[in-house]
Amino acid sequence: MSTAVTCLRAQTPYEESWADGVKSKTGHSSPEEVRPIEYYRLQGVDLARALRDFWSVASIAVAESAIEIASGFEHMLRWFEGAGTVVRPYEVPDNATAELQRASDLDRRIARLFGSVGEQSFEEGIETEFSRELERVVRAYGDNAVVAVGQRIAGGTVKPEAAAEALRWLGQMDSPITYRQRLDLLERSLSAPSAWIRDGASLGLASLDDPDAMPYLERAIEREQIPELREDLQRVLSQLEKTRQCLCS
């Protein structure tokens, strides 16, 4: 079965960053095969909400994995437009099918990564097979790996302690090309329902030591209901404030 692949580039009205997505379309698709947006909801993907929550990049990655035969591309296009999103189709890269395969491999590796956690407990400062594999995956897949990790965590199917461990290591990783994506994920994870995840995100941000994260931390401190965690968030904020002062002077 031949597969035509179309890429889209979307800009949400809520942020200025661009999000890339790859959508495949089978040559023999018929209108009956178009999958409505409800299909994605049934897969646990609420794209509208994800976009509202600045998860646009992750949402498109989720869509990628959900669309094995993406005959609903036009529908997606209309939906993005309906959601107030500017959608601009652009040229199809020659290696798009290989890219889809690569995305599928990434999904499998991330699923295995979190699935392997079991009852494993993590200790500060100690590398584990989990942390080593996470680093390998990020080195191999770059931003897409960070997006996939964020998607898993946001999906709520990952043990909070494992999610926190992933966020801590993402903060410590030496990977300049994924820096912005990791920073974004850590900032967003400050709003996670799990205290473990919020804590892991704050530790990751402390490791990145980027004052850009300060507004996110300030909002997280205002929201935080657990006194000890609020203190820890404040501690990270103070560190970033000192860093900012050093950078300014």
Partner 1 sequence: MPLLLRKIRKPRWYRTQELSWLSQGEIPADPLADLSTTSNELSTWHIEDDLSNLERVIVAIAGTWDRIDSFDYALFDQRLVEELNIEMQQTMGDTPDAQANHWHRDLVHLSAQRLAELARAIWMDGRTDRKLQKEIRDALARAVSRREIDPNRLKPNVQSQVKA
Residue ranges that bind partner 1, judged by CB under 8 A: 121-122, 124-127, 161, 164, 168, 172, 195-196, 199, 203, 206-207, 209, 225-229, 232, 235-236, 239
Rounded to 10 deg, the angle between the 143-155 and 56-66 helix axes is 90
Taking the least distance from each CB to partner 1, the nearer of 214 and 229 is 229
Taking the least distance from each CB to partner 1, the nearer of 52 and 235 is 235
Min dist CB 206 to partner 1, Å, is: 5
- Helix (H) or strand (E) run with residue 202 in it: helix 195-208
Cα distance between residue 239 and residue 213, in whole Å: 11
Taking the least distance from each CB to partner 1, the nearer of 47 and 117 is 117
Min dist CB 156 to partner 1, Å, is: 16
Exposure string for 157-190, b = 16+ CB within 10 A, e = fewer: ebebbbbbbbbbbbbbbebeebeebbbbbbbbbb
Min dist CB 195 to partner 1, Å, is: 6
Min dist CB 248 to partner 1, Å, is: 18
Q: Would you give the distance in Å from CA 172 to the centre of its chain? A: 17
Taking the least distance from each CB to partner 1, the nearer of 84 and 156 is 156
Taking the least distance from each CB to partner 1, the nearer of 74 and 241 is 241
Cα distance between residue 63 and residue 58, in whole Å: 9
Taking the least distance from each CB to partner 1, the nearer of 64 and 187 is 187
Instruction: Give the DSSP per-residue string, 80-146.
Output: HHHTT-EEEEEPPPTTHHHHHHHHHHHHHHHHHHHHT-TT----TT---HHHHHHHHHHHHHTHHHH
Question: If we measure between CA atoms, which residue out of 177, 20, 12, 5 comes closest to residue 97?
Answer: 5
Min dist CB 161 to partner 1, Å, is: 8
Taking the least distance from each CB to partner 1, the nearer of 57 and 206 is 206
Min dist CB 131 to partner 1, Å, is: 9
Min dist CB 116 to partner 1, Å, is: 19
Reduced to 3 states (helix: H, G, I; strand: E, B; else coil), residue 1 is coil
